[in-house]
Amino acid sequence: MKQVFQKPVSLKDVQTHFCPGCHHGTYHRLVAEAMDEFGVQGRTIGVASVGCSVFLYSYFDIDVVEAPHGRAPAVATGVKRARPDAFVFTYQGDGDLAAIGTAEIIHAANRGEDITVIFVNNTTYGMTGGQMAPTTLVGQRTSTSPFGRNAAKDGSPIRMAELLSQLEGVAFSARVAVNNPRNLMDAKKQIRKAFRYQAEGKGFSFIEALSSCPTNWGMDPLAANARVGTEMCGYFPLGVFKDTANFHAG
Amino acid sequence: MTKRLFMKGNEALAMAAIEAGCRYYFGYPITPQSDIPEYMARELPRLGGEFVQAESEVASINMLLGASATGARAMTSSSSPGISLKQEGISYMAGAELPGVIVNICRSGPGLGGIDASQADYFQAVKGGGHGGYHIIVLAPSSVQEMYDLTMLAFDLSDLYRIPAMILGDSVVGQMKESFVPHPRPLRDLPPKEWVVRGREKGEQRVVKSLYLGDGELEAHNWKLHARYAELKEKEVRREEFMLDDAELIVTAFGSAARIARSAVMAARDKGLKVGLLRPITLFPFPEKAFRAATQRCRKVLAIELNAGQMVEDVRLSVARDAEVFFYGRPPGAGSLPTPEELLVQIEKYC
């Protein structure tokens, strides 16, 4: 019988530590599928960040360098400069990338480093127990915004995909979700494109991946999945914010 | 015969890094070390290397971490406030057993302080400046020749022991011009880097990390690191002894302070005083045994530093029992660099 569906080769055959209903596992799979498709697993060097995504090397069957909190784009810069033939990506959460690592992401993007960044935005610090993140929605209750995020004092959530799209070095910037089959298929397409741009040496490519966090949102997996569509997509619209292919064509 | 050059210490250091095979440099401007990134920006591109002026010291140490993880010889340099920012990355490199050379051309502090020669970063350098309880290799050049020689040594020791190595200089050795001989890189047997990330197509998965969560894993990892520090103390200590044999007072100083101290020791000898100099070249590993041996016979030591007293603590821990340890130093700043004459007055006090 012909096998029509299988686990990506770039993923290990292990259970993840992610909570039920978390979207990290789905994104891991999409990234691994893109890696398989481009045949880059063998020359990929992944850069893990600090947070729920730190165990990248436990799930991806690739070489990995662990970066300090927020510094993955700087570590990836060092890796890629020394090994321009390698396929290099970082996988970071919202606290890591949009708070403590803001300088590193902006400048790696602005230099147009030929790397891909997968940015998982779940509006909270997952690993440390659900504190307020730079992407926490206004009014959202977290353990450090017990009365809800107050825009007047805490600022408003940062839209990273749009922000980075303003920089000349960025070849591709998109926001995706996996809360329904249609979005998932589109997410797969955009991740593939981000990888293709690196393979073609076009410059920095960025995927903001909206994710649920049932545990820290205090929701069951279904309700958390629904929240991605009902609350997050309103403030964080899905779409492509920069695509140099279109830019040049237009 | 290799020809003699006349250059600034910072430039000799950069030249040595390139001779040692360093092709990747990551840095950020700060006085008094900016000659180093300027030299690298000029020279590395034509050698097929990469120079990146990073957005911060935090970013540049992490770029070093990334390049080093691929097995490349790489370097970053800065001065005191910038080195404070690098401490996070240095701790991660120490934890992940990554080599790499970090240059600190010290300036005075605390805070923004000033740009004068200073040795006030001794504690930070030798005690593990970041979190977690580790050491790095620390080499203290006191001449332009040593800026060249010790930089090359730093790359070899760092690769050999998989420990980051620091050159601890200051604006005296960094900014002064002196003649030196740029020896070619000495041949040294170094083990192949079987730990570098290179892609799965070359073999089993490799991970460069400092996170150890399993029962007992982190303790075992720490003991492994500390065994390597012990090995450094056994095998890699370097120091200079000058007129120690009949000395009745041992003067000790490192780096630029040792240059002034040497002049004072010679002036004391001219006066018939039996004074010698013991100069640590490796600050970590510290020449503990040399101090112990020297103070078995000569019971008085005067430590001289461009700070309010830091290395003197390691001297006290190293000397033979009953040896007396005195200190002279001044917190660094404009106008506080002591002259040989001032040091001679101090020496005479203890003779």
Note the pLDDT tens digit of each residue in B79-112: 999 999 999 999 999 999 999 999 999 999 999 9
Q: Which domains does chain A have, with CATH numbers?
A: 24-242 (3.40.50.970)
For the record, the structure tokens of B158 come out as: 């760092």
Mean pLDDT on A33-37: 96
Supply the CATH classification number for the domain B240-349.
Answer: 3.40.50.920
- Chain A residue closest to B205 (CA)? A63
What the block records as the tokens of B3 is 């020809």
C-beta separation of A44 from A86 below 8 A: yes
Residue A44 sits at the chain B interface (C-beta within 8 Å): yes
Chain B contact present for A106, CB below 8 A: yes
Cβ-nearest to A61 among B67, B202, B205: B205
Mean pLDDT for B146-171 is: 97
Lowest mean pLDDT among B63-67, B138-142, B333-337: B333-337
Task: Place A88 in a pLDDT band, splitting at 50, 70 and 90.
Answer: very high
Q: Identify the bridge partners of residue B277 per DSSP, sorted by sequence position.
A: B242, B251
State which residue of chain B sits closest to A59, comparing Cα positions: B205
Judge whether B5-180 and B240-349 match in fold. Answer: yes
Percentage of chain A modeled with pLDDT above 70: 98
pLDDT band (50, 70, 90) for residue A250: very low
Determine, for residues A44 and B63 on separate chains, whether the beta-carbon distance falls below 8 Å. Answer: no
% residues pLDDT > 70 (chain B): 100
Looking at residues B217-229, what average pLDDT do you find? 98
Q: Quick check: A48 contacting B, CB < 8 Å? A: yes
The rounded distance, in Å, linking the Cα atoms of A131 and A125 is 5
Q: What mean pLDDT value characterizes chain B? A: 97
| Unique residue bearing structure tokens 């990248």 | A56
Nearest CA in chain A to B207: A64
Angle, nearest 10°, between helix axes B288-297 and B311-318? 60
- Tell me the fold of B5-180: Rossmann fold (3.40.50)
Apex B30 CA angle, B24 and B33, nearest 5: 65
How many CB atoms within 10 Å of residue B174? 32
A75:B198 CB<8 A: no
pLDDT at B276 over 50: yes
Helix, strand or coil, per DSSP, at residue B191? coil
Contact A82 B66 (CB under 8 A): yes
Which residue of B lies nearest to A44 if distances are taken between CA atoms?
B199
Over A72-105, what HEC string results?
HHHHHHHHHHHCCCCEEEEEEEHHHHHHHCHHHH
B71 interaction partners in chain A (CB closer than 8 Å)? 82
Q: What is the pLDDT of residue A245?
A: 81
The predicted pLDDT at position A5 comes to: 87
- How far apart, in whole angstroms, are the C-alpha atoms of residue B323 and residue B309? 18
pLDDT at B41: 98
Kindly report the number of other CB atoms within 10 A of residue B139's CB atom: 28
Chain A segment 51-90 residues within 8 A of B by beta carbon are: 54, 57, 61-68, 71, 74-83, 86
Q: Across the A/B interface, how many CB contacts are shorter than 8 Å?
A: 133
Mean pLDDT confidence for B310-320: 98
Chain B residue whose CA is closest to A58: B207
Chain B residues touching residue A47 (CB < 8 angstroms): 66
One-letter amino acid at A183 equals N
Alpha-carbon dihedral sign for residues B86, B90, B92, B98: positive
Summarize pLDDT for A176-220 with one digit per residue, the tens. 999 999 999 999 999 999 999 999 999 999 999 999 999 999 999
Evaluate if residue A221 carries a pLDDT over 80. yes
Residue corresponding to tokens 């298929």? A185
Write the residue in A45, A54, A81 that is nearest to B197 by C-beta: A45
Please provide the size of chain B in residues.
351
Interchain CB distance below 8 Å, B89 and A71 = yes
Contact B200 A74 (CB under 8 A): no
The Cα-based distances of B187 to B153, B156, B158, B162 in angstroms read 11, 10, 15, 18
- Residue B169 CB coordination number (10 Å): 32
> Is the pLDDT assigned to residue B315 strictly greater than 60?
yes
Q: Is the pLDDT of residue B52 over 50?
A: yes
CB contact under 8 A, A63 and B211: no
- Of all residues in chain A, the one with the smallest CA distance to B58 is A71
> Distance (Å) from the C-alpha of residue A74 to the closest C-alpha of chain B?
5
pLDDT at A249: 41
In the chain, the amino acid numbered A55 is: F
Mean pLDDT value across chain A: 96
Q: Which residue of B has its CA nearest to A9?
A: B200
Chain B residue with the nearest C-alpha to that of A10:
B200
User: Higher pLDDT residue, A245 or B269?
Assistant: B269
Each residue's pLDDT tens digit, A117-131: 999 999 999 999 999
Contacts with B200 from chain A: Cβ below 8 Å: 41-42, 44, 61-63
- Joined tokens for residue A189: 């397409």
Say what the pLDDT of residue B185 is: 87
**Domain ranges for chain B:** 5-180, 240-349
| C-alpha neighbours within 13 Å on the C-beta side of residue B221 | 17
pLDDT at B320 over 90: yes
Which chain B residues are Cβ-neighbours of A79 within 8 angstroms?
66-67, 69-70, 197
Q: What pLDDT, on a 0 to 100 scale, did the predictor assign at position B1?
A: 54
CB-based contact B54 A71, cutoff 8 Å: no
What average pLDDT does the segment B19-44 reach? 97
Asked if residue B99 lies in contact with residue B163, where contact means CB atoms within 8 angstroms, the answer is: yes
- Whether the CB of B41 is below 8 Å from some CB of chain A: the reply is no
> Does residue A248 surpass a pLDDT of 80?
no
Sequence-separated contacts (24+) of A47-50 with Cβ below 8 Å: A47/A72, A47/A75, A47/A76, A47/A79, A47/A88, A47/A89, A47/A90, A47/A91, A47/B66, A48/A72, A48/A91, A48/B209, A49/A90, A49/A91, A49/A92, A49/A93, A49/A96, A49/A97, A49/A101, A50/A96, A50/A127
- B65 inside 8 A of chain A by CB: yes
Contact A189, A156 (CB under 8 A): no
Contact residues, chain A, for B66 at CB < 8 Å = 47, 65, 67, 74-82
Q: Give the number of C-alpha atoms closer than 13 A to the C-alpha of residue B192, restricted to the C-beta side.
A: 1
Q: Does A231 touch chain B (CB under 8 A)?
A: no
The separation between CA B10 and the C-alpha centre of its own chain, rounded to angstroms, equals 14
Residue A153 buriedness (CB in 10 A; 0-12 / 13-18 / 19+): exposed
Is residue B278 less than 8 Å (CB to CB) from chain A?
Answer: no
Give B2's pLDDT tier (boundaries 50, 70, 90). confident
Residue with tokens 């000033």: B114
CA distances from B37 to A28, A111, A214, B158 (A): 39, 18, 48, 21
Element of type H or E holding A177: strand A170-177
When CB atoms are compared, the residue of B58, B63, B198 closest to A78 is: B63
User: What pLDDT, in 10s, does the model give residues B64-83?
Assistant: 999 999 999 999 999 999 99
CA distance A79 to chain B (A): 5
Q: Hey, what are A233's tokens?
A: 């997509």
Q: Do B62 and A65 touch (CB under 8 A)?
A: no
Residue of A nearest to B196 (CA): A63
